[in-house]
Structure 1
Amino acid sequence: MTYVTGLFLIDANASALNNLGAIEGERYDNSTGVKVIRTNEGFYPYISAQAFRYWLRQTLQQSDFGWKSAPVYREEKIAYTDANPIKWWDDDLFGYMRAPSKRESAKAKREADSSRMGETETTDTITRTSPFRVSTLVSIAPVRPTNDFGVMSRQDGDPVPHEHQFYRTTLQGLFSLSLKSSGTFWYKKKTGFRNLDDVRIDQAKAENLELLEDEKAYRLPKDQRLQRITSLFEGMAKIEGGAKLSIHYTDVSPVVVILAVTKGGNHIFSHVIGENKGRPEVNLEALKESLQIFNDEIVSDIFIGWVRGYSEEERNKIEAFAKTAEAKTENGKEIKLSHPREAFKNLIAEMKKPENSVWLE
């Protein structure tokens, strides 16, 4: 089973990308704090995986990649998507949980809601484990958030004071995409793998999806699966989002990425980037070890994207290392260095080669 395994860095120059709301005990009632992990070493600002996935969904919805987003429905205190991975690309790659209420009152309310025209009928509880997994994005080094004081003074009367926190750091995240699971929908009676109920199974049959009888699954054609996967990575390369952009304007697209197609879902690059005085530092020994130990599990070249001008000395280290014999695995895979957007494009091009279609099996 193969995965796209990736690491990425975001340069948060002066940012408050994920906030926790009001801070109790501060001098002003409207003091806003940032999310941090508190350790003995200090405070590590972070961005939740939920926030990052939200940014990515929004970027994909607003893109020209042809992305097809599922509608979201609301019932009192719960909300859910259409939960149809055959039709909607984000239901496929981001997963879902759908357990519709069987109460007559809830059913009548759904039927009376004109905004739900075209909704896929759901006859049973269905869940889908997300093929796309992403970590919490965490600062590579501890920092002390800055408290910024401001006032609202455009109105008559006394100015209204307010305060918010922000920080300067580099945030690191990990992600993984199961290539087999992308575009493959199970109907097993198992949590996470009961992707299809009877209605969706009938749709799979009507659209002539490939039946994997031994696995109790249906699968989209490879060209459709690749279209969804490549759109996801195009969105990651150009991702936008985050809080306080009107006053901090942080570009959250990756300044560094490390990408490869690997066997197994364990992350092989998680210790390649360290830090020195708060700045990222490439651990070449860790990279060499990964290329040696995981030689049999790396099935593509290693695509590294590094923006010129960002920690230029570390980029130069990668560039020099890539020219050595140690930068190649025993099975001939090598490091290819470029801009992060180019790294995603090169990975996509590799995936589209006919000889690599086996990665989707």
Structure 2
Amino acid sequence: MTFLAGLLAIEIKAGAPNNGRGEDNVAMVKSTRVGNQTYPYVSAQALRRWWRDSLPTDESRSPVYRSGKGTNQQAYTAGRGDRFLDDDLFGYMIAEKSESYNRDTVLAVGTAVAVAPRVITRDFGTMNRGFEIGANPVIHEHQHYTADVASPVLLDLPRVGTFEYEGRGNRPDLSAAALEEARAEGAVEVEFRDTKAIQLPLVERRRRVAVLLRTLAQLRGGAKQSLHYGERSPALFVVAPMKGGNNPFTRVIAAEAGLTVVDTGVLREEITAWADELDGPVLLGWAPGFLREKRELAREELAELIADGTVRFEHPRVLLRGLAEEIERGEHDVWFEDAV
């Protein structure tokens, strides 16, 4: 049983990638307070939306349905993780009168909070194009900020393409009709974490993880792109295969004097402390130009671990696409097996 666990950082430059509720006709970005300091953030829901929307155009998405009126409305997908990658990996909940079923997400994503506190900028603008001479302009305001935001991530590999339908304390992943159709289309019966389940062929499970990793390598999205367009693919990440669900890398990226730093000392100590749980090399993806002076220094400080294969240090896109290819070739099939 293996999880891909880690932390990813996205560089926001004068951006407003995730907006909160407006106040006094001002478009506000999302932020939280810790003591007397402000930390802008991107919600986990927004980050997952970017990831989902960035899937390849030829990858079928689960259709979305909406029912009810006024405040008594609900929206839900088809709830067919057997047929749609996004339902499988991102989860869903279907609550109907006849039956209810849900998919706890296989991909866990945390809130992407600014690594260091930031003062949020309030931008003032006007609209007077085409107005008659002397007319008062229409005033509009919105917030934006510059910060590196970081989010923990966890991917439960054995659950990819595995759908539980009988157990205690939870709803089944698929409806009874969907289970029968999935079996007819090639899913097999398995015993999974003390419950009965069906499982898709391994080649499809590999493919889905590979698609997810390649999508992260070219992540895009966010609000106010017309005014605050910016790159959203990870500027830096630390990810490793872990035998359990722990994530020891959440403290590797930290703040020092208001700036983002990668603490190689913390990384070294966590690798040593969790050596018995690591199920492969630690991937340190670091885009050139991001924390420019620190990148080569970190490479020197980790030279021994890089040389013996404990750490792989490369561009984020190269590492993610390389890992996707290894998974598709079957080099990590043991990661998809559940603990016995």
- TM-score, reference length from structure 2: 0.92
- Length, aligned pairs only: 328
Q: CA RMSD in A?
A: 1.7
Cross-structure match for 1:132: 107
- Write the letter of the residue equivalent to 1:11: E
Corresponding residue SS for 1:350: helix
Q: 1:98 aligns with which of 88, 94, 99?
A: 94
Alignment of 1:78 with 2:86, yes or no, is no
Contact 1:259 1:347 in 2 (8 A): no
Alignment of 1:313 with 2:308, yes or no, is no
Corresponding residue SS for 1:216: strand
Change in CA separation of 1:344 and 1:70 when aligned onto 2, cut-off 3 Å: same
Contact 1:34 1:165 in 2 (8 A): yes
- TM-score, reference length from structure 1: 0.87
Instruction: Return 5+ residue gaps in structure 1 as ranges.
Output: 24-28, 103-123
Corresponding residue SS for 1:34: coil
Q: Give the deviation of 1:210 after TM superposition.
A: 1.7
Q: Deviations over 1:187-209 (max 9, x none)?
A: 02445551122202211221231
Q: Give the deviation of 1:236 after TM superposition.
A: 1.1
Alignment of 1:153 with 2:128, yes or no, is yes
In 2, Cα distance between the equivalents of 1:317 and 1:172? 21
- Write the letter of the residue equivalent to 1:93: L
Alignment of 1:144 with 2:119, yes or no, is yes
Cross-structure match for 1:14: 14
Q: Give the deviation of 1:50 after TM superposition.
A: 0.5
Matches within 5 A, 1:149-188: 149-156=124-131, 157-188=135-166
Alignment of 1:345 with 2:340, yes or no, is no
Contact 2:211 2:324 in 1 (8 A): no
In 2, Cα distance between the equivalents of 1:257 and 1:284? 13
In 1, Cα distance between the equivalents of 2:291 and 2:51? 26
In 1, Cα distance between the equivalents of 2:38 and 2:182? 49
Cross-structure match for 1:226: 206
In 2, Cα distance between the equivalents of 1:4 and 1:348? 12
Q: Give the deviation of 1:221 after TM superposition.
A: 0.7
Cross-structure match for 2:179: 201
In 1, Cα distance between the equivalents of 2:298 and 2:101? 45
Corresponding residue SS for 1:180: helix
Alignment of 1:49 with 2:29, yes or no, is no
Change in CA separation of 1:89 and 1:180 when aligned onto 2, cut-off 3 Å: same
Instruction: Return 5+ residue gaps in structure 2 as ranges.
Output: none
